[in-house]
Every structure is written in structure tokens, then in C-alpha cells.
Amino acid sequence: MDGTVLVADDDRTIRTVLTQALTRAGCKVHATSSLTTLMRWVEEGRGDLVITDVMMPDGNGIEMIPKISQQRPDLPVIVISAQNTIMTAIQANEVDAHDYLPKPFDLPDLLKRAGAAMKNRRLMASGETPAKPAAPVPRGDIVSMESLPLVGRTPVMQDLYRLIARIINAAMPVLIIGESGTGKSLIARTLHDLSDRRGQPFITATTEDFRTVDGPRALLSRVRGGTLVFDEIGNHDDEAQIRMTRLLDGIDEDGPRIMATAQPNLPKMLAENTLREDLFYRLSGVTLDVPALRERVDDLELLAQHFLSQAADEGMIQRQLSPDALELVRSYSWPGNARQLRNMLRRLTLTGVEAVISRDEMDQALKTQPSNAVVGPNFSGETLSEAVARHLQRYFDLHGKELPPPGLYGRILREIEQPLLEIALEATGGNQARCADLLGINRNTLRKKITELGIEVSRRRKLA
């Protein structure tokens, strides 16, 4: 990678890191903490790429991009920002920034994007087509970021932000896929509210709208040129899906924008014919995959702060999580996703009296949740039942057309029972009374199982 990079950031550490990394990559670097200095370099014709922060002592980096484009139309700009909201991504896209990265950024990723930006600039100079795809650019008033429901700084959320920013005004259908509670409907509403259709109706269709032949026609009359959302398409019966398909076939270019939401098990629904293929193909113009909360654990603190502040704004007391309570929040799988987290924190805000939510209080709250599964670095989101089913299926598959040897039930129970007892004994420090209580079985039963399975028990003090 060669060329000259202009870096503008008021954080000296970031300037130093970027200067060292870009220099090692073969670039020349000019770094400054001032947008005024940056603009002077641009006007002097320096640089093949600009990397700028948003909030600077003497201005806003995003607001400088139109001026940079006016001076040097071929000079790409990469925006880096600690304001990790969807609005930053949309604002950067609106002024035609080449790229946007949140802080803290992944340095190799930034170098890769910087290299691509300068390569695109050279291609444009030679008259070739750059690699960066053209994206619809939203116009009109920008909605306040405080009103937006999407919160997250993890890479998977930033990728989602970038894609949303690019399709704000796209005419093609949008299919939003995610588990319950991940915010699919909020994303659909955000896309509508930020688009040039924001002044027109936003209608969510239900199965009842397709009960009669006239239902689809009535829907189109209500939505006009606004946005029509088919909520959880896999939940509609076949008759409703047929009428949805016919409705989509009858929409012209002046009709509404179409969106749909669905659970992640679409392949299974298609295979089982509970979702019509012709409907799926008509809805899947652009697909947005919304990550489950367990897939973005590093966003939990930010989300918790958001929900607690939201509750305080509504007149409840202002609370915050203690470090120990946050540790418990991060270790829980949140099967109900952001909705479950929000509801539990609101309940703690209503019932608590102290400003800080303690570990004990959080522990008690989590015990009331539907599934107290924990996550870790190797957590895949697979339930125990799903993991067992997968291993059993593989076991049967290994036998081909033959059945496994008789006695399968006992062998499978033994394979599950032994690690369960071993892990429970380890967790209780080898205290068999505590282990039996944890498992909910008689102590004599536990002793018998330990003997039968040949489990070695080492008694030690368990650190609390």
C-alpha cells in the first residue's frame, strides 16, 4: 500500500497508532488534531486519502466532507467515530464518505479499507470502475439520534448500520431476519422514518388483512405510497401467503415500499413448505440479518445504560449496574434478546430503591427468567436439546442403513449423566450434600451414581 494519508483526530494516541501502522504499510502520513490544518493540506493538494474523526475541537469531521469533495472530488474520506450510532453511519453515507468505522476500530480492518480506498481512487483516475458499490443516498432532514432504537458498537452491529444507511431510499423489498426481541420491527420503522417516504403511512399487515379477497385492496388504499410491512411471514397460513403474493405482483412503481420480518428458521420453513417459495423470492430483495443479543455481548453494557436512562427519562429512579451485576448480565444468554433485557431492567428500576443494582439483586432477577443459560467465548447459541439432537443424528448416520446396537437408551443417558454429575461436583467443590441439593436428588442416590459411574470425587474448598 502506497500513497499519502491525512489523519485528523484530537486523540494523540490514535494519531500515533495510525501514523505508525500506515507508515509500516508503506504510506506517508500527515497527522493533525485540527480540521483547519486538515483543510489547508487538502487545499494544497496533499494526500491520497483522508481519515478523520467526527467530533474535533474546531468542528465536525462529517460536516467537512462536502467541502473536501468540492475542493478535491477524487479524494476519498474514511470517517472514524466514538459516536457509535446508526445516525453516524447514515450521516457519513449522506455526505458520500468512502467508509465509516466505529471506535474502537480493528486496526487491520482499517488498513484494509484504507488500501481499498486508495486503490479505488487510482482506478477512477484511470477511468476504470471502482470496487465500491454505488449506494442510494438518503436526503432530507436527519432524525435525532436520541430517538433511534438501535444501540450497539460491536462490528456485527456496525455492519448492520452500514447496510441500513445504504438502503434508506432503495425501492427494492427488504427482508429483516432475526429472533424475537431483536428489534426487527424497530428497524423497519427506522428505515421508513429516515426515508423520503417518512410523511406517508407506515402500515403493518396482519393475517386478518388477508382473510378476504378485498383485504389486500384495502391495505393498498391505506398505505398509498408509504411503507407496507408483512410481519413474521412464516406465521401466516397458506391462503394469506397466496394473497400476499398476488398483492406484490400487482404493485407498480408508484406503490408502497415493501418490507417483511421473519425468524431465522426460513430454510426450514421453505423445506417444510410452511413458507411459499414464490412469496419468499418476492420479499428477499435486500436481507438484513439482525444479530441475537448473545452474539454481541460487548453491546450489553451500552444497551443496559440506554434502557436504564430511558426509564429515568420516564420518571423512574436513575439506576446503574455494579461491575458484578454487569458480569452476570454478560454471562446470561438472553433468549428474549433486547426486549427481555429492557423489560427486566425496567422491573428492577420500578422495584429497587438503591442507585446501584447489586450482584445479588441481579442474581435474583435472573433466576426468574425463562432460561438461565450462560454464554462464553465458545458459545454458539445452540440449546442443549439441539446439541443432543445433532450428536444423536450423527450417531445414527454413522451406522448407515443399519440400526445402532440395542440398549441405546441406557447408553445415551449414561453419557449425559456422567458429565452432569462431574461438573456439578466440581462446581460444589466435591461437597456431595450441596451437589445433591443442586441436582435436586437424594444424597444416597448421588452416592450410588458416583459408584456406578466410577466418578472420582476430590473434596476441596470451593471459592465463592
pLDDT tens readout for residues 191-216: 898 888 989 999 999 888 988 888 89
260 and 317 co-located in one domain: no
Q: From the CB of residue 256, how many other CB atoms can be counted at a distance below 10 Å?
A: 21
How far apart are alpha carbons 138 and 91 in whole angstroms? 9
19 and 109 co-located in one domain: yes
Q: Is residue 311 part of a domain?
A: yes
How far apart are alpha carbons 33 and 52 in whole angstroms? 10
Which of 241, 266, 289 lies at the terminal end of a domain, its last residue?
Answer: 289
How far apart are alpha carbons 286 and 163 in whole angstroms? 9
How far apart are alpha carbons 368 and 462 in whole angstroms? 25
Q: 23-39: per-residue pLDDT in tens?
A: 999 999 999 999 999 99
Q: Is residue 161 part of a domain?
A: no
Question: Identity (one letter) of the amino acid at 431?
Answer: N
Q: From the CB of residue 360, how many other CB atoms can be counted at a distance below 10 Å?
A: 12
307 and 274 co-located in one domain: no
Residues belonging to the chain? 464
326 and 437 co-located in one domain: no
298 and 265 co-located in one domain: no
Q: Is residue 36 part of a domain?
A: yes
Question: How high is the pLDDT of residue 127?
Answer: 61
Measuring CA to CA, which residue among 178, 148, 160, 85 is closest to residue 310?
148
The SS3 of residue 99 is strand
Q: Is the pTM of this model over 0.85?
A: no
Say if residue 205 is exposed, middle or buried (CB neighbours under 10 Å; 0-12, 13-18, 19+). Answer: buried
Q: 263-311: per-residue pLDDT in tens?
A: 998 888 888 888 999 999 999 889 999 999 988 998 899 899 889 988 8
The SS3 of residue 6 is strand
What is the dihedral sign for C-alpha 61, 67, 68, 73?
A: positive
Q: Is residue 379 part of a domain?
A: no
9 and 101 co-located in one domain: yes
Which of 261, 289, 317 lies at the terminal end of a domain, its last residue?
Answer: 289
Q: Is residue 389 part of a domain?
A: no
CA 371 to chain CA mean position, Å: 21
Question: How high is the pLDDT of residue 373?
Answer: 53
Question: How high is the pLDDT of residue 144?
Answer: 33
283 and 301 co-located in one domain: no
8 and 120 co-located in one domain: yes
210 and 301 co-located in one domain: no
Domain CATH code at residue 417: 1.10.10.60
Cell of 67: 467541502
Which of 367, 397, 428 lies at the terminal end of a domain, its last residue?
Answer: 367
Q: Is residue 394 part of a domain?
A: no
90 and 64 co-located in one domain: yes
Domain CATH code at residue 337: 1.10.8.60
The SS3 of residue 160 is helix
Domain residues for the domain of 334 are 294-367
Q: Is residue 48 part of a domain?
A: yes
Measuring CA to CA, which residue among 273, 261, 198, 193 is closest to residue 230?
261
Structural domains in the chain (count): 4
27-32 and 99-102 beta bridge pairing: unpaired
Residue stretches of the chain with pLDDT short of 70: 84-85, 126-149, 371-384, 386, 459-464
